[in-house]
Amino acid sequence: MADLQISPAQVQFAGPIARGVAACEAGDPADVAGLAIRADGDVVRWGALKRGGAAPDRVAREAAVD
């Protein structure tokens, strides 16, 4: 995970990976989950899915967002 990078142009949309990992560690597992996509044993993509109280206000309560 430490080798993954988000381009400076995308950080404004995705946020830094460390923030997503921290949200998963601190969040309620019912509302926040991390998703790592692996290829040949390496993590090549990362996302944090949020729903309920962890989701942004603009999202319906029953929806999940990355």
The reply to whether the predicted model has a pTM over 0.95 is no
- The answer to whether the beta carbons of residues 35 and 24 sit under 8 Å apart is no
Task: Look at the alpha carbons of 58, 55, 53, 62 in this order and tell me if their dihedral is positive or negative.
Answer: positive
What is the reported pLDDT for 43?
79
For every one of its 66 residues, what pLDDT tens digit does the chain have, with 9 covering 90 and above? 556 666 777 677 666 777 788 888 898 998 999 888 888 888 788 888 888 888 888 888 788 887
- The answer to whether the beta carbons of residues 54 and 31 sit under 8 Å apart is yes
What is the reported pLDDT for 36?
84
